Amino acid sequence: MSSHSAKHPRWPGIIEAYRSRLPVTPETRVVTLLEGNTPLIKAERIPGEIGADIELYIKYEAMNPTSSFKDRGMTMAMTEAANRGGVEAVICASTGNTSAAAAAYASRAKLKSVVILPNGKIALGKLAQAMMYGATVVAIEGNFDDALRIVRELGARPEFAVVNSINPVRIEGQKTAAFEVCDILGEAPDFHFLPVGNAGNITAYWKGYREYHRDGLSKKLPRMFGWQAAGSAPIVEDRIIENPNTVATAIRIGNPASWIGAKEAVAQSNGRIDIVTDEEILDAYRMLARLEGLFVEPASAAPIAGLIKAHKAGLIPAGSRIVATTTGHGLKDPDTAVNSGIARPVVVPSSTEAVLRLLGL
């Protein structure tokens, strides 16, 4: 089991913390940046603001080394690639966060990284990360789904290791977030809310919750509620979306890799997968920052937008304990932040009087 207790005064990263539950051997050389052990922050104001009698916790995945949840899967994928032998480079398609994590962990593993991105649709911070960590960044004139198709083809070559979530060890790493939630709360929550893009994370959390439940470490299983952006909702619409679109570029995905995993998580947990509009996403995005002090990227606000929608629809019983995962940091996408309708800085002369006048004092 975990955790950030007396047993690990210094958090060792998710593989060491949950070694017995992950596909590694005593000989495995672990590639880590000490990811995981992210805060589970109780929301103080959102429940009241939306008039919901609930207990809401935010699993704040921005506190990972590359500022998104992708680091959990990437420590596993890079460890596997580094120990496999014969691998020269890792390769992935990405809407941004996977590429940032792949590039960082590849540096750590002394491997090259190649990232294939949809040109012009990557948030600035994520692009900066991949470039800084030294990836070869290829921007294709296509979307994420086109990029993933290319990666699947290149992955057939022995010198490449694919580190997208089609690589099953990524899901293994990501399931540790569910373990952390149960370790902190002492039990699984009633509901778990997540954004859904490729659907790897909802698949991974459900796997993690089931494993803890099977082994008697939790008595209940949460209902899994996943949220897609309205312009990019293949699972909800039950069809491949050729030209997905949403302000939440992280989940701008028309043909999710873990489609089946998401369907199973929802069916088995008596859960739900539904849409939220870009407007609802941006409202929740501002609400998280303004009311809770949590600046997340737009995709990460989708589960909060979903919570508001589900509460209005009467789907959340009073007294429910809910965990929502916010998957990436707000600083990843500064353009959306400054263009999201919030107040701009006001320029005044450099004097105390001018500042007082502006403040109406």
C-beta of 198: minimal distance to ligand AN7 in Å?
Answer: 3
C-beta of 85: minimal distance to ligand AN7 in Å?
Answer: 27
Would you say 46 or 194 has its CB closer to ligand AN7? 194
C-beta of 203: minimal distance to ligand AN7 in Å?
Answer: 7
Q: Edge-to-edge strands of the sheet including 160-162?
A: 136-140, 112-118, 89-93, 160-162
C-beta of 93: minimal distance to ligand AN7 in Å?
Answer: 7
C-beta of 195: minimal distance to ligand AN7 in Å?
Answer: 4
Would you say 54 or 194 has its CB closer to ligand AN7? 194
Would you say 108 or 126 has its CB closer to ligand AN7? 126
Residues with Cβ within 8 Å of 174's Cβ and at least 6 positions away in sequence, in order, are 69, 72, 73, 165, 200, 201, 204, 205, 208
Q: Using alpha carbons, list the distances in angstroms from residue 199 to 59, 219, 246, 258, 355.
A: 17, 25, 16, 5, 48
CB 97 within 8 A of CB 124: no
C-beta of 145: minimal distance to ligand AN7 in Å?
Answer: 11
Locus of tokens 């699993």: 59
Residues with Cβ within 8 Å of 287's Cβ and at least 6 positions away in sequence, in order, are 46, 49, 301, 304
HSE-CB at 223 with a 13 A cutoff on CA atoms is: 15
Would you say 82 or 100 has its CB closer to ligand AN7? 100
Q: State how far the Cα of 306 lies from the Cα of 289, in Å rounded to an integer.
A: 17
C-beta of 35: minimal distance to ligand AN7 in Å?
Answer: 15
Would you say 113 or 300 has its CB closer to ligand AN7? 300
C-beta of 330: minimal distance to ligand AN7 in Å?
Answer: 10
Query: How is residue 134 written in tokens?
Result: 């030294």
Would you say 12 or 337 has its CB closer to ligand AN7? 337
198 bridge partner residues: none
- Phi then psi for residue 106, to 5 deg, are -65, -40
User: How deeply is 317 buried, as exposed, middle or buried, from its count of CB atoms within 10 A (0-12, 13-18, 19+)?
Assistant: exposed
Q: State how far the Cα of 130 lies from the Cα of 105, in Å rounded to an integer.
A: 11
Q: State how far the Cα of 236 lies from the Cα of 228, in Å rounded to an integer.
A: 8
State which H helix or E strand residue 266 sits in. Answer: helix 259-268
Would you say 189 or 197 has its CB closer to ligand AN7? 197
C-beta of 297: minimal distance to ligand AN7 in Å?
Answer: 5
Query: How is residue 243 written in tokens?
Result: 């030209």
Would you say 228 or 320 has its CB closer to ligand AN7? 228
Would you say 65 or 96 has its CB closer to ligand AN7? 96
Q: List interacting residues with ligand AN7 (CB under 6 A).
A: 68, 70, 94-98, 195-201, 250-251, 297, 299-300, 327-328
